[in-house]
Structure 1
Amino acid sequence: MAHPRTHATWHRVAPPLAERHTVVCPDLRGYGGSSKPPSTPDHAPYSKRAMATDVVRLMRTLGHERFAVVGHDRGAYVATRTALDHPAAVSRLAVLDSVPIGAALARADARFAALWWHWFFLGQTAKPAERVINADPDAWYGGDPEAMGREAYEDYRAAIHDPATVHAMCEDYRAGLGPDRAADDADRAAGRRISCPLLFLWATGDDMVDLYSDPVAVWREWADDVRAGALECGHHMSEEAPDRLAAELATFLAD
């Protein structure tokens, strides 16, 4: 899911998939109703490695030793780390509107900084972003109840009005600039790759192509079996193109 959405962002996508699959939609660590462990100077409690461990433990608790993982935006980083750290557990991986954190930061230039400045604003600690966000979360984050769905919007709004959640979400970005990038860089240096089939979908109304020219090629640097496609929508594809997204995921999971 994308910052600062909750699991409820999937409410139009999960039901059709649940007709053939067991679907589990957790909030990421720190997001929504999930636990918010104390932060540390290295931000490791909010690293994607820690969140990937959450995913595996959750699925095992529910009786699933091997499973497919689907992630959008920040959730895609967790899904990717789950596949890299726990290859025996992940049968298929779908990543939506995202490239790996290490790949994004390695390619970061002035254009990236202008478009994705929030990575660095949310990720710094000298003048914490929480003070700005908590002054008026609705103005900062926005959100359209008609587009999101009323119940999903209310769940999201409750999350962004919780200072502990806002802090945890900022820690997610701080981890992205620190331990997450280090983990990705270590995997690249060691030649570790994603071995399961990978589906990459991107939104034509977002900036994947503008930033990376050929984002599919980026994923081919990380995975052996890459399938890809574009959805005609904006960034929040589970809200803007839920039927098409559900169909693409259903095909991938059934293949």
Structure 2
Amino acid sequence: MFENFTAETVETGEASVFVRHGGSGPPVLLLHGHPRTSATWHRVAPRLAGRGFTVVCADLRGYGRSRGPAPTADHGAHSKRAMAGDMAAVMRALGHERFALAGHDRGSYVALRLALDRPGLVSRVALLDCLPISEHLSRITPEFATLYWHWFFFARPDVPERVINADPDAWYASRGDPEGMGEENYAEWREAMRNPRVVRAMLEDYRAGLTVDRRHEEADRAAGRRLEPPALVLWSVRDDLEELYGDPLRIWRDWAADVTGHGIDSGHHMAEEAPRELAAALGDFFGA
């Protein structure tokens, strides 16, 4: 994976962030979702580098090989604002003062927070397979609760740690396979899933989502804050976003003045399942 990319750990003060970076040209930061690591981009990053971008793929705080502070009672240590601060520090350490940004799934919430909090850093933002957390929570239906039950299970104290760590291979068995993910990506992911510290950090990400992150988004809406950089919204047509909400762009237009997007013929992990189509869409958007 990631031939001709450099792998290193960047110290941000609060966290140690594992990154892969390569290519040359305008910088692009790619953020993975749950339960993946930065390796999920191994089929997309080289394509973007081939189109003339410097590509940075980072493990989010606590995921994969990144490490952060101990969890806090208010879950703020794993808030999207804290994670966004990590990514701003990483890009600055790598010499990038302004950059394009893409996030998938949980990584999209970090991308949204970074673009809202520090719009001067972000030239363009792509948000993949997501709506703002507060938008999901304001639209709870039996269908949403059935499909997204894990949000609420993960938010429980202590219980999900005991369940997952009792047999992580069984818990995550349906989340990926070597053929679909690529053997090296799969091996890296499974190693991370067997680390109780990683499991705890991933659960704290969800706990923050239903508490401090939701409050931050609600404060944004109350203050009339919207995304300033142009936004691209992409979703997997074989996932559940359209099933639950219809056209996601209709909701995102309340959050961004300049938003475009479309569906991609893929299941949820589009970077692994439809890398050619995703890289083309991101490359066209970031190069516009």
TM range (shorter): over 0.9
| Match 2:201 to one of 168, 175, 180 | 168
Aligned counterpart, 1:129: 160
Q: Which amino acid aligns with 1:138?
A: D
Q: What is the DSSP-based 3-state SS (H/G/I as helix, E as strand, rest coil) of the residue aligned with 1:24?
A: strand
Of residues 98, 112, 116 in structure 2, which corresponds to 1:84?
116
What residue ranges of structure 1 are gaps of 5+ in the alignment?
A: none
Give the Cα separation in 1 of the matches to 2:121 and 2:255: 18
- Work out the CA distance in 2 between the residues paired with 1:177 and 1:80: 16
Match of 1:13 in 2: 44
* % identity of equivalent residues: 58
Which residue does 2:179 correspond to in 1?
Answer: 146
Q: Which structure 2 residues correspond to residues 101-250 of structure 1 after superposition, within 5 A?
A: 101-125=133-157, 127-142=158-173, 143-250=176-283
Q: Post-superposition shift, 1:169? A: 0.2
Q: Distance in 1 between matches of 2:180 and 2:172?
A: 14
1:36: Cα distance to partner?
Answer: 2.9
Aligned-residue Cα RMSD (Å) equals: 0.8
User: Which residue number in structure 2 is paired with residue 3 of structure 1?
Assistant: 34
2:89 paired with 1:57:
yes
Distance in 2 between the 1:186 and 1:211 partners?
Answer: 25
TM norm structure 2: 0.87
DSSP-derived class of the 2:48 partner: helix
Question: Partner amino acid for 1:87?
Answer: P
The residue correspondences of 1:26-105 to structure 2 (distance < 5 A) are 26-105=58-137
Instruction: Measure how far apart 1:102 and its partner are.
Output: 1.2
Deviation digits for residues 28-48 of structure 1, max 9, x if unmatched? 001000013100110000000
* Separation (CA, whole Å) in 1 of partners of 2:140 and 2:248: 14
Please state how far the C-alpha of 1:110 moved relative to its aligned partner: 1.6
Give how far 1:139 is off. 1.1
Which structure would you say has the larger RCO, counting Cα contacts within 8 Å and 6 or more residues apart?
A: 1
In structure 2, list runs of 5 or more residues that go unmatched: 1-31
Whether 1:254 and 2:283 are equivalent positions in the alignment is no
Deviation at 1:7, TM superposition (A): 0.3
User: Contact between 1:36 and 1:165, CA under 8 Å: does it hold in 2?
Assistant: no
Aligned with 1:245: secondary structure? helix
2:91 and 2:140 map into 1 onto residues whose CA distance is 34
> Amino acid of the residue matched to residue 85 of structure 1?
D
Aligned to 1:69, the other structure's residue is in SS state strand
CA distance in 1, matches of 2:77, 2:184: 29
- Number of residue equivalences: 254
Secondary structure of 2:58's partner?
coil
Question: Aligned partner of 1:253: which letter?
Answer: F
- State the shift of 1:128 in Å: 2.4
Structure 1 stretches (4+) deviating beyond 4 angstroms?
Answer: none
TM, length-normalised to structure 1? 0.98
What CA distance in whole angstroms lies between the structure 1 residues aligned with 2:109 and 2:232?
A: 14
Determine which of 50, 55, 61 is the counterpart of 1:23.
Answer: 55
